[in-house]
Structures are given as C-alpha cells and as structure tokens.
Chain A
Amino acid sequence: MAGDLAVVPVHPESLPDDPRTLRWVIPAGTLGFVGMPVEVPAPLRQLLDDATLAGLTVEPAAVRLTLAAGLEWREQGVRVRDALQAALAVPEQWQAPDLADATDAMAAMAAPGDDVLRAAVHQVLDGEVGDYIRSHGGQVILLSAHESEVEVQLSGACRHCPASDVTLTERLEGGVRALYPGLLRLTARDEPGPGAGRRMLRLIPTRGR
C-alpha cells in the first residue's frame, strides 16, 4: 500500500464493559507489534498530549484507545478517527515497545513479530473460537509462537476427538491468520501421555487472500 493515497480502513467497536475505550479495528499487519508503543506519530501524540486520550494499546489487528474521563466518544470520535487514520498512514513512525527489559526468557530470543503472533493466538483463544472449544470440553494451550509458526497443545475432550483436526485447523488457524496474515503453520500436539506422539496438523489453505 506504500505510496497509495487510499485511506487506511478502520472502524470502531465498543466494549460492553468499558464505555470509555473503543477497539479501533485496523488491517492485520499494519503495525507489526503489540503493546503500548513508545512513540506514536504526531496526530495521535497530540491527542495524548492534550489529554483527549488517556490510553493507547496496540493489538494484532486493532488499536485500543481510551478517552480521558469526562469526554464522550460521540463528540471526540471523528477527531480521534482522523488522527488515528493519519497515524496509521505512516506506520514507520510508530515506535514499538522496548523488549530489552522484558523478563520473559522467550522474549529475549524472540524474532520480530513473535509478540504479535502470540497476542493473536491468545486473542483467538480468548474469543469465540476458544469459547467453542471450551464449550465442547476441550482445552488448548499455546506452547510456542516463533518465526510465524505456532505450536499448541490439545487436552481435555480434544485429545481423542477425530474432529479436532478439522475443528482446530479451520477455526484456530483461520482466526489467527485473520489477525496475523504471515502465519506459516499451526501444529498441535496431544497432551503428553503414554505413546502420544507429535501430530502434525494438516494445513488447510484458507480461501481467498
């Protein structure tokens, strides 16, 4: 999209339990990091500086913006959207959070984008797909998210379910790929047990893009 004059596609989604925060859905892969950025482009910086915005967090395919207390989205929405779109047009001016002081050992040897991928998997597992798996008595644990590959562990009712191949690859992988288009593969292994081997899940290419 570089050099393109097109406006970055965004739309806000409200959160039922937090009226001051809106999740502004942005195209996956626009920013390439998650968390609270160290620096944001001028238009957004200004809104943070003049205390219009009280908080800003980047998710795999969204930016969470929290309005300062006493302000209404109805009045500020258009201004914030314009600023956000202007800022998203220059993704290189966003400065990702510094990972150097991360205590997590995995973070130290992380490749760029791993944190986004991990956040994407968590978001999917916390969302509708996770709800579905849990409703069937299954459990999925993220083992690793590294260099665009994801490994999860299946347990509970998933373990011997013949449908878990299809269910997981289609649902989990589709969900993660929507948030992290660069996903290469998603593998799952059963809960360690007698004779339980590593099982590669078939990668079903998703339709479209």
Chain B
Amino acid sequence: MTSATGQTAGHARQSEARVALVGSPNSGKTTLFNALTGLRAKTGNYPGVTVSRYEGAAEVAGRRVVIEDLPGSYSLDPISPDERVLTDVLDPLNAGVQSPDALLVTLDATTMPRSLGLLAQVMQTDFPVCVVLTFTDELTRRQGALDVAALSRAVGVPVLAVTGGRRSDLVALRELLSRPQEWARPVVPPPHAPMEVAAWITSVLSSARYELPEGDARTRRVDAVLLHPVWGTLVFFVTMFAFFQVIFTAAAPLQDAIGSLFAWLGGLANSRISNGLLSSFVSEALLGGVGGVLVFLPQIVLLFLMINLLEGVGYMARAAFLMDRVMSKAGLEGRAFVALLSSVACAVPGIMATRTLPSARDRIATMMGAPLMTCSARLPVYVLLIGLVVPSGAGWGPISAQGATMFGLYLVGALSAMVAAWVFSRLGRSSGPLLPFSMEIPPYRIPSARSVALSTLDAARTFLRKVGKIILVTTIVLWLLLNLPARSTADLQAAGVNPANHTAVSAYVIDHSFGAAVGHAVEPVFQPLGFDWRINIGVLASLSAREVFVATLGQVAAAETPDTPTIALRTMRVEEGPRAGELLFTPPVVAALLLFFLYALQCMSTIAVMRRESGTWRWPAIAFGYMFVLAWVMGLAARLVVGAVT
C-alpha cells in the first residue's frame, strides 16, 4: 500500500492537491464541480456536455485543491477522442498530462448496476478514490433504496451522498478533500474480467440493500408522446416554432427600448461633443456600430434561456434521439446530431463535441456541417434583416410572420447542416459499418433555477465580451477605413459639398473613403446578388464575426442619417448603377443576404477551432471555400426566386 501512495503523492506539490472528477455522462459531475469550485462550467440534462477539461480551485480546510472536471465516460476503454482524455489522465505512465492525486467518482444512484462498472475500473488505477453518490433524492422518489454506509463498507472507499451540489452535503466532502492520502483504500481491488466484475457488482449492491428505482412513471408517460415517431416529431417542430415566435414577440419591446436608448445617446453625442472627429467616432462607431449589436442582447439572452431550459429539463436529449432515427437512415452517426445540436448555440462547442465521434471520417464530416447550423451570432443579423422586409404586425392570428421566417431559416440551416455532413461522410466512406450509438435518455428533471440562470448569464457575458473585443476592434478598424482619407474643407468645396452640412460631409467622406474603395472593388463578385458597396463592406467585415455586419450597417446608417438611424436602413437607396435611386433593401436583396449569411462561414473562431480539431488547415480551407460558393449560389437563387414572386 505504501508503494502506491508514494507513487501518486510523489509528484504532488505540498501546497495544492489535485483531484479529478470521473463519472458517467450525465451523472452530475459538472454540477458537483461547479458547487465545489464556484465556477460555472455549463451543465445540461444532456449527456456529453463536458467535452474538454475544466479546472477550478476549491478552498478546503484552508488548503487549495485543484479540481479537474473530466469528460464523462461509461468505461475506461476509450472509443472516442474525448474518452481518450480520461484514460490519458488516469494513466500514471503518460508523461504528457499531469496525473491527479486522487479521484472523485460521481455515481448516479438511480443507475448503480451500470455505474459500478466504471467504479470497478477506476479502482484498479491505484489512485485514492472517493465516491460521490448523486441523484439519491430521485432514487427515493422513485421507490428505490440504498444504504450509503453499507455501500462504503462493501466497496472499501469513502462514499458520500451529495444532492444537486447542495451546500449542506458538501461540508463532509470538503473535509475529505483536504486529505485525500488518508482516504480508505480497498485492500483488494475489484476484479477485471467482465463476469467477475458483474459478480462483484451484484454482491456489493446486495450488501448495500440496493433497490432499483422504478421506471419514472412521469417520464414514461411523457415519453410515450415525445418519443413517438409521429407525435414526437410534431411536438418537436411545434416547440421549435413557438421558440422563435417568443424570440420576436417577447424580446422586441426590450430591443426597441435599448435601441431608443442608443439613438438618444447618439443624438446627445452629436450635439455635445464639439470635436467633429470624436463626435463621429462616438456616435457612429461606438453607438451606431457596437450599440447596434448590443441591441440584440435580449434576443441572445432569451435564446440561451430557452436552450438551457430545454436542456435542463431533458428535452434536448430526446430531440437528439428523435433526429437520430432520421439521421441513421441516411447512414449518419447519432453522435453527429448531438454535435450539430450543440451548434445551435455556437459552432465552436459543436465542433469540439465531435470528439465524441469514434470515427475520424465522421468527425470531419460533422465538422463540415456544423457551421451551417444557425448559431446565435446569426441571430442579430437575421432579426435585423427580417425586420427590414417583414412588418412586425404581419402574421396569421397569434403567429407572427417574423417568427415564422426565422423558424424557416433555422430549419433550412439544420437541414443543410445534415445534408452537408451526410455528403462529406459519403465522400470519404469506404463502407465501414455504423458503430452502435447509445445515448442515455435522462429522466425529466426540473432544472435548478440557479444553474439555468447562471448559464444564461454566462452566455450573455460571452456575448458582451465578444462585443467588447472582436466586434469593437473590427468596428474601429472599419470606422477608420470609412473616415479616411480625411477631407479638408478645400476638398469638400471642390467636390461641391457644403462643409457646414455635417450630414452631407459625412456622407461624402464615407462614399469616398478607403472602405468604400474596398467595397467597390469587390462589387463584381456580389453584384449578381444585388449588394452595393455598403453591404459588401459589411459582408467583408463580417468575416471576423457575423454580428459585425450589423455594426457596419449601423455605422453607415448613423453617418448618413444621424437623426433617424433606426429607420435609416429601410429608406437607404442605391446610389449608382442601373438600380440607382431604388430602395437598397428590397425583399430580393434581403433574401439573398439571409441565404448568404445562412451558408457562409463568417467566423474566425470557427475556422480556428476547426484547424485545431482537425490538425490541418486543409479542412477549414475546404469548409470556407465550399460554404462561400454555396452561400453565393443560394443567395443568387434566393434573389431570383423572391424577385420573381414579388
């Protein structure tokens, strides 16, 4: 025993111990992690939420303990890259990763027979182990039973029940965490061979008086409908439809309020700041541009609130299950859909979630499709563009036409993502059989208000951080491009512009800026789609992040019509060429823009994560290329079709 202790303690620093969390997917690992560290890793009632490694520090008895949240796994025999992370960390011979000093194993009390299999494997590793039983409240609610003390005696390691990260349950755990080297160790580790492990599990559970919980009656009744091939699918689409209705109806008033606030501030900046350049920077770049993106905060918050609710309740796992039937018919991995579904929030976690895919080919195929799922960055662009052509009052009864349009865009995005993933998996397929996909369907749980609120706040914070960093920087660069070269009074007079008329001056400066030159330069590419130089510069700028498109248009609008920037886009007219004088944002052009944004890969973060996950620039380049061509063709098609019907 001494040798084992020496091995694991040898490389530990005296000051801080390192404890890793191990557990099956959806066993409450991340909830425990958050409760111990006060950090907010994202949790969901949805297997596979933790795909990368998280670390946080917990203060226990005056000592700092580093807690590491590892990806969930049902066993230590890895079949996918994320499970490999777990085995690497637990392998003391693997010098590439830092080994923990002890392991906390979370076991879902409602699924003990299966969970103990993982525990048996973990206990082979020679690390000090402590078991944290989760969902014991659910076990008793569903008429199950378990004697915690007897279980601890039977497995030979400390066992504690912690329900939903409740603070009162954590006191004892913190106490234990302060001295992992003193934890009871099993004198004889559990066996290896499957038959013997099964016998060990039976023996341990019978000793612990374990009574399997009855199937959750509520869950069963609800699932009879929700997992039904016809009703379930119908409910799924109705849910999603209602989802987008709410985004428009509930968030619109808030959005208007924030919009008016920024318009008012812009007016204030114009009248109070005497320095012309500074005033233009504040009112156009900051308030018109960055403020134009901030206006969409209510929608972003609402989107994440609803995603978190659906996930916490356990609905997302069912949606994945339903869609898996469809996808497996097409020969696609069920795990692929889980990754695609994660991309509704953002393609970056979606692409990282492809680590759960065992086959490298399917991973790449899913990565190629994931950016087509409508991510939250497209939301401001869609809301803005839809608002330009679909009146907010229009609709059928309680159904708003704006919400219906948005639903359609999400639907097309999702379908395109699946088709793209399918095509790419076909291209590389040698005809390997599909690996069986098993996904846990968790019982319905009422998500804790705290965890939903925290992850929603987190999403809002991420959005604000993005606005404060990449969007702000791009907007400032654009502002410079749009306001340089600076024009002297003589220049203006030579061009026949009255230097006293601010609006005319800024319109002139912008129209003859470096930015305009760039916008004009790419005109041949985008002319078939009906984009003018102002849209072009917005589209180019949005390559950094999609929201920048909104910021750019806001900036241009604020410069050209400072009095009414909110309705400026609607009245903006084409300045030159065959369509000169016509409204710029006609339904065909907006349709082309929407489809362009639906398909184009305009996100540096996605490209970077694709490069990292695929290990080569080849795949991001292919993705960018094919999506650009697709976006252009679809945009053109949309313009022609909408032009023909309107």
Contacts and interface: CB of A to CB of B under 8 A. Distances in A.
A93 interface: no
Contacts of B189: 77
Q: Chain A's interface: helix, strand, loop or mixed, by majority?
A: mixed
Chain B contact residues, majority secondary structure? helix
A25 interface: yes
Contacts of A19: 187
A45 interface: no
B196 A7 contact: yes
Contact of A10 (B156, B195, B199, B209): B199
A56 interface: no
B209 A14 contact: no
A78 B191 contact: yes
Interface residues of B, number: 23
B199 A8 contact: yes
A74 interface: yes
B138 interface: no
A73 B203 contact: no
Contacts, number: 60
B195 A7 contact: yes
A25 B203 contact: yes
A39 interface: no
B566 interface: no
B195 A11 contact: no
A22 B187 contact: yes
A178 interface: yes
Interface string A11-36: 11110000100100111000000000
A74 B203 contact: no
A75 to B, nearest CB: 10
Interface in B184-205: 187-191, 195-196, 198-204
B616 to A, nearest CB: 46
Given A9-B206, A14-B156, A74 B199 contact: no
Contact of A7 (B1, B155, B198): B198
A12 B206 contact: no
A11 B1 contact: no
Interface in B130-169: 153-156
A160 interface: no
A13 B188 contact: no
A207 B143 CA distance: 11
B200 A11 contact: yes
A74 B187 contact: yes
Contacts of A100: none
Contacts of A9: 199-203, 206
A199 B495 CA distance: 115
A2 interface: no
A77 B189 CA distance: 8
Contacts of A163: none
B458 interface: no
A6 interface: yes
A13 B154 CA distance: 6
A134 B181 CA distance: 35
B207 interface: yes
A19 B211 CA distance: 31
B117 to A, nearest CB: 14
Given A77-B188, A81-B191, A11 B154 contact: yes
B193 to A, nearest CB: 8
A82 to B, nearest CB: 9
Interface string A64-108: 000000001110011011000100000000000000000000000
A11 B203 contact: yes
Contacts of B206: 9, 27
Nearest to B209: A178
Given A11-B204, A77-B188, A78-B188, 19 more contacts: A6-B195, A7-B199, A9-B202, A9-B206, A10-B203, A11-B154, A11-B155, A11-B200, A12-B156, A12-B188, A13-B154, A14-B187, A27-B203, A72-B1, A74-B187, A74-B188, A77-B187, A81-B191, A178-B209
9 tightest CB-CB pairs across the interface, nearest first? A77-B188, A9-B203, A9-B202, A7-B199, A73-B187, A9-B199, A11-B203, A7-B195, A12-B188
9 contacts: A6-B199, A9-B199, A9-B203, A10-B199, A10-B200, A11-B207, A13-B156, A14-B187, A208-B211
Interface of B: 1, 153-156, 187-191, 195-196, 198-204, 206-207, 209, 211
